[in-house]
Chain A
Amino acid sequence: DSGVTQTPKHLITATGQRVTLRCSPRSGDLSVYWYQQSLDQGLQFLIQYYNGEERAKGNILERFSAQQFPDLHSELNLSSLELGDSALYFCASSPRDADYEQYFGPGTRLTVT
């Protein structure tokens, strides 16, 4: 158990809908990262937050948005969902004194039908 929690574990929804994925970092970690993993592929970096502020952006679609709240949990919002958005979405957090390491949550499996 990495200490990073993600909810829900599984999500099944229809095309055109909107969903919110939630992540709680390890206690004391300020950085949160979001990644997308399509079937049996490597992870694609979406976005990073540090202490509530956006720090880096990857290949995140305009239909996707994220935020980090004052209690440091983060949410990833996916809207106008398409079949191709079906994937495993990971959240990771980094410790303050070792920001080169990322600890991953169990992921949220999103299926768009």
Chain B
Amino acid sequence: AQTVTQSQPEMSVQEAETVTLSCTYDTSESDYYLFWYKQPPSRQMILVIRQEAYKQQNATENRFSVNFQKAAKSFSLKISDSQLGDAAMYFCAYRSAGYQLIWGAGTKLIIKP
């Protein structure tokens, strides 16, 4: 069975600086998707970025980018120029062949002004 691990329960960063959130996963599949979701205090689940396993190029969405290392089964999220609105829980998720998402435990990101 696939598993997703986020080893950092909490991270903090100074406003305007860069922070990297870690995620590792375990799977025997070769084709899959990986996601980062943001959950602010409102509890809404917001898709931040997606990575297709068959693509070697790392995905980028504005200030958010990923470092996808398929062989190492690692999928980290880099947030550049951190803003106060980035404060939230961040969840890494894996989409299995069964379509449902498998989730990590989350990392709480604190932005220091």
Q: Enumerate chain A interface residues (CB-CB to B < 8 A).
A: 2, 31, 33, 35, 40-45, 48, 55-56, 58, 88, 90, 92, 94, 99-104, 106-107, 109
Choose from B4, B100, B104 the contact partner of A48 (Cβ within 8 Å). Answer: B100
- Say whether B102 contacts A45, CB under 8 Å: yes
Q: Which 9 A-B pairs have the closest CB atoms?
A: A42-B103, A104-B45, A45-B100, A100-B33, A43-B103, A56-B98, A42-B105, A56-B100, A107-B43
- Say whether A42 contacts B33, CB under 8 Å: no
CB of B78 closer than 8 Å to a CB of A: no
CB of B101 closer than 8 Å to a CB of A: yes
Choose from A42, A44, A104, A106 the contact partner of B104 (Cβ within 8 Å). Answer: A42
Chain A residues with CB under 8 Å of B25's CB are: none
Cα of A40 to Cα of B43 in the assembled complex, Å? 10
Chain B residues with CB under 8 Å of A45's CB are: 100-102
Cα of A44 to Cα of B91 in the assembled complex, Å? 12
Given contacts A33-B101, A44-B103, 8 further A-B contacts (CB under 8 A): A35-B101, A42-B106, A43-B91, A45-B100, A45-B101, A102-B47, A104-B45, A106-B43
- Say whether B50 contacts A101, CB under 8 Å: yes
CB of B28 closer than 8 Å to a CB of A: no
